[in-house]
Chain A
């Protein structure tokens, strides 16, 4: 089984790689997972990425970057809200993408940046959190989980990863919210927003945020902030997925289409 494979001691070094392929080995902060990505002979990941991101290059790859995600702490825990549009350049892949990964019943991770990178690395983080719980018989703290992710990403500095993630949870120290990105930035705070629409969300969220919000007020604020970001940012849209992290775990509050929210807020104005 997958977990058994990871935990078993492995003698990978004894295996010869086919065709003399080079192994790019990068440690990710734990000796458990085998993090060696095979790369064809003579290829350096950073240079490889550069050829695809040159501005006037013929081969410009368009990564899925558009998003708005936000999270804030208040007296009753942490609210997490994200949009669900996935774009590749000017093409919309899907309007219903899940940008929140449920790491465990107490931890959530949001995704912005490159969809593939986020989905993969947050799943690796979820693996580590599970192994931590098995080894130590207690839930991993939000601080430790975010540090694990941050250190994993720091190993791939300069190789073109694009991840802007918020790790949200409730542990023995109370509600926790950390922002982690591909540069290796890791910040603890009360309020963050990421993605192409983050500035629009900050505008609404900052203006309406107070620590002593009631739960319905907090839900409304989070939903409005994402809605306003989707209204102005072309790369955000679809639906607003909202979660609430409480002491006994997270709950999924709602999933509402932004078109319907538009009609709802329009009526309120009149």
Chain B
């Protein structure tokens, strides 16, 4: 089952997704990237039904880029999240709803880091940490227990089958090979 996780720190957002693209019992790809770069400081993580994920995520991605082309400046993470939710909601009661679960992570130069949780019923919640998939049942309680908003805590997933990225004021950084669970207080 596909897994996404996002954790917001004081001046960054850390996101990770598994890299498996499976079709029933067969792993079709083991290096599949589930993160879509909406802009220099916004990532959209997308899992769900087979074709819907890419189609919906690319649609949002292109529209966010179009906004920048038309207006000369980028959408903020908050605006991008609400735009995404509106599209999900509009399609929800149509003939072709998109069955996708999303995490939107971004860094706004004025408001700082932000993490938004969205699901296929087009709910939207800004959260300090969030996860999708069966793995969420296990990790949410860990985060509930140990998460502190002010600490510069880095929860790292060391499994080779994860794509990990960090968003801060400098942009999006790939963090794939990191050592196990280091916690550091700021």
Contacts and interface: CB of A to CB of B under 8 A. Distances in A.
B29 A184 contact: no
Contact of A157 (B23, B28, B54, B96): B96
Interface string A179-204: 10101111101001000001100100
Contacts of B21: 185, 187
Given A46-B95, A158-B95, A158-B96, A187 B28 contact: yes
Interface in B52-108: 52, 54-55, 95-96
B50 interface: yes
B142 to A, nearest CB: 32
Contacts of A186: 51, 54
A201 B72 CA distance: 52
Given A46-B95, A157-B96, A158-B96, A189 B29 contact: yes
B28 A184 contact: no
B49 interface: yes
Contact of A179 (B28, B49, B54): B28
Where chain A touches its partner, the secondary structure class is mixed
A245 interface: no
A198 B54 CA distance: 24
Contacts of B29: 187, 189
Interface residues of B, number: 15
B51 A184 contact: yes
B49 A183 contact: yes
Interface centre among A153, A181, A183 (most CB of B within 10 A): A183
A184 B95 contact: no
A168 interface: no
Nearest to B51: A184
Nearest to A157: B96
B25 interface: yes
Contacts of A158: 95-96
Given A154-B55, A187-B21, A181 B50 contact: yes
A187 B95 contact: no
Given A158-B96, A202-B26, 11 more contacts: A46-B95, A154-B55, A158-B95, A179-B28, A181-B51, A183-B49, A184-B55, A185-B21, A187-B28, A189-B28, A199-B26
Closest CB pairs A-B (n = 10): A184-B51, A183-B50, A183-B51, A185-B50, A154-B55, A157-B96, A185-B51, A184-B55, A189-B29, A187-B29
